[in-house]
Amino acid sequence: MRPLYFDYNATTPILPRVYEAMRPYLTEHFGNPGSGHLWGLKAKRGAELAREQVAGLINCAPGEVYFTSCATESDNWALLGLGLARPGAHVVISAIEHPAIVECAAYLERCGARVSRVGVDEQGLVDPAAVRAACASGADLISVMLANNETGALQPVAEIAAWARKQGIPVHSDAAQAVGKVPVDVAALGVDLLTIAGHKLYAPKGVGALYVRQGLELAPLLWGGGQERGRRSGTENVPYMVALGEACALAAEDLPGEMARQRELGRVFLEGLGALDVDWRLYSERAPRLPGTAAVGFKGLNAGDIISGLVVLDVGVSAGAACHGDTTVVSHVLAAMGVPLEYAQGTIRFSWGRPTSQDDVRELVRRLGQALGALA
């Protein structure tokens, strides 16, 4: 039985083209980019080309791209670098942010800052009017993700940022799930800070980036040798930077076509689900969504039981609810959306990507039917 991987929102494989781009920087081009000799200069050229490739995908200047170790670091830097860990600071976030934002915001509260959490509607969308209301007494930062990692719902970041810019409030968006999957243009979005995760778009785990709008004051998180133009010290991880750059270049080449292909995979998947004799609902069904994400709640079932059945059938997916004994802990995203427990406790996230074929999707539906049938 061939394995079926449908957990691309958790992580993606390194594509062959990406690996081949980074491989020489693990071997012959191993130099420190801070060194002035041949080995160092070759490494530096690789890093700067990668910076240009990332900038090209999100439409910014290369000098506005800062490489990090991951999206979590980028998110934390965006919040902490603005000096928000102090009494009197006010941060506005959505109720469905990734833990990298949620936990960092909680830390800011412990430091004396005030955090406002804006809810979402039943489709998992933030209302820009609610964000504006939360900022009525002023705000030092708004952070709203671009694409939700659980439901794939695309948030109205551009509308929020357009208003915030007039008020002089900086806006950060965690775009870890969006970059490389849908068009992300920082100029069109109007954001001041934007997070990128390498392992969500076919680069390795351990590399990310933060877009910082030129002119924005952002204090470093890491101090030392002054790499990344004095803002992020530490010897550069050139092979992984090169990999992220190549992954961005690949996305820039064929994004519209790949989006259409993945939307068709979603249509095939939902059509197959409709033929199964089960009660299910698709979350954020009426919202704009990532083309490769479908979060589905199966009524009256337990996500852990469904996943156990799929694991036996060599299928990889993620759950939207964690089960511990007789207790079901629903994700904060589903809770914010007000999903009924009878559906929430049986939530599975299916996500697919570039290597996924229609045959894979049809086989997924067949095995899913088998797993669900065993629970009837």
Instruction: Please give the pLDDT value at position 198.
Output: 98
Residue ranges of the domains in the chain? 4-12+254-373, 16-251
Rounded Cα distance, 60 and 68, in Å: 17
Instruction: Please give the pLDDT value at position 328.
Output: 65
**Rounded mean pLDDT of 46-55?**
98
Share of the chain above pLDDT 70, in %: 98
Q: What is the pTM of this model?
A: 0.96
How many of the other CB atoms lie within 10 Å of CB of 1?
9
Residues belonging to the active site: 323
Comparing 140-149, 202-211, 256-265, 326-335, which segment has the lowest mean pLDDT? 326-335
| 325 has pLDDT over 50 | no
Instruction: Please give the pLDDT value at position 329.
Output: 82
Which CATH architecture best describes the domain 4-12+254-373? Alpha-Beta Complex (3.90)
Q: Which ranges of the chain would DSSP assign to H, the alpha helix?
A: 16-22, 38-58, 71-80, 99-110, 128-134, 157-167, 186-189, 238-274, 303-312, 332-337, 341-344, 358-373
| 360 has pLDDT over 60 | yes
- Residue 246 and residue 53 in contact, taking contact as beta carbons nearer than 8 Å: yes
- Residue 181 and residue 291 in contact, taking contact as beta carbons nearer than 8 Å: yes
Note whether 4-12+254-373 and 16-251 share their fold: no
Long-range contacts of 23-27 (CB under 8 A, 24+ apart): 23/239, 25/238, 25/239, 25/242, 26/239
The overall average pLDDT reported for the chain is 96
Instruction: Please give the pLDDT value at position 321.
Output: 56
Confidence of residue 320 (pLDDT cuts 50, 70, 90): confident
State the fold for domain 16-251.
Answer: Aspartate Aminotransferase; domain 2 (3.40.640)
Give tens-digit pLDDT for 154-178: 999 999 999 999 999 999 999 999 9
Rounded Cα distance, 263 and 266, in Å: 5
| 148 has pLDDT over 90 | yes
